[in-house]
Structure formats: structure tokens, C-alpha cells
């Protein structure tokens, strides 16, 4: 097992660097740099632009710039934001908590709703539960997150006045758990609804597949109640695809939800990435990419390890 983890980690290294090279190159392919946004559009002088390029090191050849960035990364330095001048690691540290809270609670809520609903709709196809699951899937897949945000704000903030429409705290700083949760409900609800469809569908189809297995017939023949069959056997047998879907949300949790964070003014990783892209803040884009890439690679490893725990048939070969 240890050897397996070690091998997987070693094989992840070139993938990780491949991702960074790809993103770095993509940023260079896009025309324009932060210097083109300098001053009031179209009025910055060539001298001002040149000074900014020199101060940011943009006048160096591409391989030199990537090499410098990589060298800094290996020393644990993600560089400084072109826009604010602040350390990228500090910016990420400031934003990762709110993202974890928002997307994490949204995904958790989605799991708590989707798994029972998926099991119920598989257990009783055509029932009210099944139809409700179908409607939820339709909304989740068919309605863009941006629109869900606006509908949520209109209904719960403007019409009903129950929930705040923006921000993380009422007065800009932490003022108690109540205030935080009050601000969290609406954006987390949107994140939950956006991810719900995938989870419900996966759970339902995995359960339906398991229900057709011989050992389920055996369990029923032994006289187990339907509830016990569903929970002890069907759900456990369906765990791998469900777990896969849930765990693939981890990078999303860490990376934040760009649309939801942007609309609600939530200070997370998604809104950081959004601003960085529009202001051509390459170090921030690279920094967020590093975090998300690491999250994806570690999630994949975690998934493989959890498969073994969830399904005894999965074994890790030595060597």
C-alpha cells in the first residue's frame, strides 16, 4: 500500500509540471498583458509600459520567466500579484477558507439530499420521490448557475427579504456565527442545487444497477426487510460511483465557484481567479492553478485508496 502511494505520487510529479507548463503557455498565447490595461485605456505611454514590464520581469524571454517562476515555486514562493503587489500565497490563504466554507457546505448539503433521494428514487421508480428527483435533476442540469443566483436573490432577498443578497458578513468583518450562516445559506444553496443533479443521477443509477445483482435477491430471500436491503447492501454496493462523484467535487470545493462567488461578492478562490484573469494577473492565475492541480491529483489518489476500503475486491498490487 505504501509503495503504491509512493508510486502514484511519483507519477503525479510530471503531470503536475505538465499542467503548470500548459497553463503558463496558455497565458502567454493570449494577446496582451497587464501593461495593456495600464492607465486609462489607450493613454499609457510606452515609457510607463516599459517601466511596468521591466518591474514585473515581463521583458525576459519566456523560458527564463517560467524557470524563475518554477524555481520560486520549489522554494515555496508563489510570487507576488502583479495587481496588488501582495504575496500570492497570502492571497490564496485569505481566500481558501471562504471557498472551503461556501463550496464545502454546498456540496455537503447536496450529498445529504442527493444520496437518500437517489436511493429512494431507485427503490421506488415512478413514485413521488422519483419524480421529485427528476425535477431536481432537470433544474440542476438545465438552469445555469448564474441564473439560479439571480432567481435566489430575487426570491429570498428582494421579495421575501429573508436572506442577504451579498457579502460574507453584514459589516464586512466577522460578527458571529449567526451572521456568517445567514450570509452563507443563499450562495451555498445555489452551489448545492448546481451539484445536486449529478449526485442524484449517479446514486439512482448505481442503486438500480446493484438492485439487479444476485446477492440482493439472496438478501431478500433470507428475509431481510426492504429497508435493510437498501441500506446494508444496495447502498454499500453502489458506493464506488457515488463516492467518485462526491470526491470529484473536492477540487471544486478548493477552487471555489467562480460564478456564485462573483455574483454574491463572496471572497473566495473563484472570485480571486476571475479578477486575476481579467486583470492579466499571471502569478495569481498560476498560484490558483497550482492549488487546484494539487487538489485534483491528490483527490485522484484519495479516490483510488477509498475504492479499496469501499470495495474489498479492489486490491493494490505490489511493485
CB of 116 to another protein, least distance (A): 13
Please, which residue, 136 or 186, has the CB nearer to another protein?
186
Neighbours of 230 (CB within 10 A): 21
CB of 259 to another protein, least distance (A): 8
Please, which residue, 24 or 82, has the CB nearer to another protein?
82
Mention every residue, 6+ apart, whose C-beta is less than 8 A from residue 38. Answer: 44, 48, 49, 52
- Listing DSSP states for 175-226 in one string gives --HHHHHHHHHHHHHHHHHHHHHHHHHHHHHHHHHHHTSHHHHHHHHTT--H
Q: Are 284 and 272 in contact (CB under 8 A)?
A: yes
For residue 135, give the H/E element and its range. Answer: helix 128-142
Please, which residue, 9 or 181, has the CB nearer to another protein?
181
Binding residues for another protein (CB under 8 A): 30-48, 51-52, 55, 81-86, 91, 94-95, 146, 149-150, 153-154, 157-158, 161, 164-168, 170-173, 175-179, 181-182, 185, 262-265, 267, 271-272, 275, 278-280
Please, which residue, 274 or 316, has the CB nearer to another protein?
274
For 87, phi then psi, to 5°, come to -65, 135
Q: Could you identify the residue written with the cell 497553463?
A: 23
Q: Are 293 and 281 in contact (CB under 8 A)?
A: no
CB of 68 to another protein, least distance (A): 18
**173 vs 104, 167, 168, 169, CA distance in Å?**
21, 10, 8, 6
Please, which residue, 137 or 193, has the CB nearer to another protein?
193
CB of 35 to another protein, least distance (A): 8
CB of 305 to another protein, least distance (A): 26
Please, which residue, 46 or 221, has the CB nearer to another protein?
46
Amino acid at each position: 500500500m505504501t509503495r503504491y502511494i509512493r508510486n502514484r505520487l511519483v507519477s503525479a510529479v510530471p503531470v503536475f509540471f505538465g499542467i503548470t507548463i500548459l497553463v503558463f503557455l496558455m497565458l502567454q498565447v493570449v494577446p496582451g498583458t497587464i501593461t495593456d490595461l495600464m492607465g486609462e485605456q489607450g493613454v499609457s505611454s510606452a515609457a510607463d509600459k516599459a517601466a511596468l514590464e521591466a518591474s514585473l520581469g515581463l521583458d525576459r524571454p519566456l523560458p527564463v520567466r517560467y524557470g524563475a517562476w518554477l524555481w520560486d515555486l520549489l522554494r515555496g514562493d508563489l510570487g507576488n500579484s502583479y495587481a496588488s503587489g501582495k504575496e500570492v500565497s497570502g492571497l490564496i490563504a485569505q481566500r481558501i477558507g471562504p471557498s472551503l466554507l461556501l463550496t464545502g457546505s454546498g456540496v455537503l448539503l447536496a450529498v445529504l439530499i442527493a444520496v437518500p433521494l437517489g436511493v429512494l428514487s431507485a427503490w421506488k421508480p415512478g413514485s413521488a420521490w422519483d419524480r421529485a428527483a427528476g425535477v431536481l435533476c432537470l433544474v440542476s442540469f438545465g438552469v445555469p448557475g448564474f441564473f439560479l443566483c439571480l432567481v435566489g436573490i430575487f426570491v429570498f432577498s428582494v421579495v421575501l427579504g429573508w436572506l442577504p443578497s451579498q457579502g460574507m458578513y453584514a459589516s464586512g468583518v466577522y460578527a458571529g456565527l449567526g451572521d456568517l450562516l445567514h450570509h452563507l445559506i443563499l450562495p451555498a444553496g445555489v452551489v448545492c442545487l448546481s451539484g445536486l443533479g449529478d449526485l442524484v443521477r449517479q446514486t439512482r443509477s448505481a442503486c438500480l444497477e446493484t438492485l439487479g445483482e444476485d446477492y440482493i435477491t439472496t438478501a431478500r430471500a433470507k428475509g431481510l426487510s426492504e429497508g435493510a436491503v437498501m441500506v446494508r447492501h444496495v447502498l454499500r454496493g453502489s458506493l464506488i460511483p457515488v463516492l467518485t462523484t462526491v470526491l470529484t467535487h473536492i477540487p471544486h470545493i478548493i477552487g471555489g465557484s467562480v460564478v456564485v462567488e462573483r455574483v454574491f461578492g463572496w471572497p473566495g478562490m473563484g472570485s480571486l481567479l476571475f479578477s486575476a484573469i481579467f486583470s492579466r494577473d499571471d502569478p495569481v492565475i498560476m498560484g490558483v492553478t497550482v492549488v487546484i492541480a494539487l487538489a485534483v491529483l491528490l483527490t485522484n489518489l484519495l479516490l483510488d485508496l477509498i475504492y479499496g476500503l469501499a470495495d474489498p475486491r479492489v486490491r493494490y498490487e505490489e511493485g
